[in-house]
Structure 1
């Protein structure tokens, strides 16, 4: 396992981060703790969660349970100082979370205190804005994204108020570093500029989707990462399991995310099938596990701070962790380039 520095913070994170969004729904507490124990034995030191989790499915009844499961593990193992712990404050749109309202300073105060209580800790290492108030193009929103509808007079003040509150949390010792999620190059740069102008916490990372089927980060955001030292925390490196090949030809394994969530967050469309088939065939042609090829590709990207993996079984977890030992040959890389030209945005 290799380790990268989170932005300009000095915090070292493993190149694989253990994602947790199935814990409390698809995975029991015992299964989650088994995953944590194994991942840490293999050198993982980074856990990502959110007040919103679990998400398979989303539910007002289970909201917050994932953080509680992690808190139990931290207490049982007594390993808080060995863990880089990241969580997120939810944005607008969920009626059971602060009445579905936008992220506000007051809401952040409520959210962090509740997260710390569930996590049974005094601080989190990375606190992230789960999605912006103004909207974004992630989660299949690229097809309807229209920033021209954003209120220019309001947005800057909204961002400043949020960053001021994050600064308060850092000063209070509740948060070590701050990050964004599901945000854009403009939004990230705006936060960075405000931080520099006002002596506020600098964005250390951005958690956006990135995988062989969804590579928006390769463009403006990769340039921002290079010049501003803001690393990507890539979620859905397997495109919600599509790139494992398990859903090819209409397969829907019992208990899988597709069987629970219906369309994998809009990813399960006819457009992805030929692209996934191509990537799976490429991996098998070279004797590589398709999941490991997909994760290894992400790990090799120059802007990557950590790749967030999520597993519902120990077998999946062991396979995904095995990607750290895989170096893709030039033939495989060339094959990926060819397929990306054929299917540049299939989800």
Structure 2
């Protein structure tokens, strides 16, 4: 498994990352543990989670359950040193965690302690802010995004305060590095400026949605990533399962995400199905598994740190692991680019 450096840190992460957001709803603890075992055997060293997980659905009753499942695995196997572990502070984007309180110097120590307790570990390798206090254009909000209500002085003070609280955690040894999620190019560069101003931890990564169907990252964010050495951690690289082809022609497989989330978080559109057809045709022409093609394309991008994929069955996990050994040729890449131009922004 190829390893990539996480930002400017000395942390090396596998180019594929095991996502965990279904552990505790769609998957049992035992199934989650089996996935970790298999992923580590395949060379993956990177697991991503969040204090709000699991999802499908998110509920007050299940918040924190995924972290607890991972903690039980650490307790069982005593292999903490083999894993680069990432988790996230929710903030005001999720009302059922701390009653929707925004990220602040007061909430950071509490959130870190809660994650450490559930994860049964002394440290978190990558601590991420799940979404900005000022709002985000992610999750289909880009169509109506309006940042005009943001107050620059409030944002600057928040960043300075938050980095101070994070530096305290670094000094305590509870976190090793800091990352963002659902962030913009402007926001990321302001966090980078704040770290220089305050001496707090530098942004190592941004975890944003990225796939053949969702390529918002390809312009300003891509430039920022390359020039500032901030790695992308791509979530939903299979577009919530659309790129597997399993939802084509109106199909809804039993126990699939669409049975729990009918519109797949706003991704289910006629144009999305047309785009998927184009990518499925490319995979078929070149005798490629479409799942592996989609993951291999993501990991080939010049700004990619790691591609986060999830699985609800071991068979799905095995197929995704096959992307580690796949490199796409120039002909496939050219056809992918042509399909993207023909089917831009399908949701």
Short-chain TM bin: over 0.9
For 1:329, the equivalent position in structure 2 comes to 329
Deviation string, structure 1 residues 155-201 (Cα, Å, up to 9, x no partner): 21122211211111111111000000000011111111111122111
TM-score (norm 2): 0.98
Taking the aligned partners of 2:334 and 2:25, their CA distance within structure 1 comes to 39
Taking the aligned partners of 2:307 and 2:245, their CA distance within structure 1 comes to: 19
Q: Counterparts of 1:284 and 1:198 in 2: how far apart (Å)?
A: 52
What SS does structure 1 have at the residue aligned with 2:206?
A: strand
Offset of 1:91 from its aligned partner? 1.9
Q: State the match for 1:245 in structure 2.
A: 245
Paired positions, count: 347
Which runs of 5 or more residues in structure 2 are unaligned?
none
Counterpart for residue 25 of structure 1 = 25
- Secondary structure of 2:270's counterpart equals coil
Work out the CA distance in 2 between the residues paired with 1:329 and 1:181.
31
Q: Which runs of 5+ in 1 are unaligned?
A: none
**2:76 — aligned with what?**
76
Separation in 2 of the partners of 1:324 and 1:223? 25
Q: Which residue of 1 aligns with 2:163?
A: 163
Q: CA deviation at 1:269?
A: 1.6
User: 2 CA distance for matches of 1:33 and 1:231?
Assistant: 27
Q: SS of 1:192's equivalent?
A: helix
Name segments (4+ residues, structure 1) moved above 3 Å. Answer: none
How far is 1:271 from its partner? 2.1
What is the match of residue 341 of structure 1? 341
Alignment map for 1:204-243 (pairs within 5 Å): 204-243=204-243
Q: Which residue of 2 aligns with 1:89?
A: 89
| Residue in structure 2 matched with residue 310 of structure 1 by the alignment | 310
Range with greater deviation from structure 2 (265-274 or 61-70)? 265-274
Question: Which residue number in structure 2 is paired with residue 290 of structure 1?
Answer: 290
Q: Distance in 1 between matches of 2:165 and 2:71?
A: 24
- In structure 2, relative to structure 1, the CA distance for the partners of 1:95 and 1:197 (3 Å cut) is closer
The alignment yields a C-alpha RMSD, in angstroms, of: 0.9
Q: Kindly indicate whether the alpha-carbon contact (under 8 Å) linking 2:164 and 2:198 is maintained by their aligned counterparts in 1.
A: no
For residue 92 of structure 2, give the secondary structure of its aligned residue in structure 1: coil
Partner secondary structure for residue 153 of structure 1: helix
Separation (CA, whole Å) in 2 of partners of 1:37 and 1:243: 26
Shift of residue 322, structure 1, vs aligned partner = 0.4
**Aligned partner of residue 260 in structure 2, secondary structure:** helix
Give, in angstroms, the shift of residue 94 of structure 1: 2.4
Q: 1:183-202 counterparts in 2 under 5 A?
A: 183-202=183-202
Answer whether contact 2:93 2:131 (CA < 8 A) is retained.
no
CA distance in 1, matches of 2:240, 2:22: 12
Scaled by the length of structure 1, the TM-score of the pair is: 0.98
Structure-1 separation of matches of 2:267 and 2:110: 33
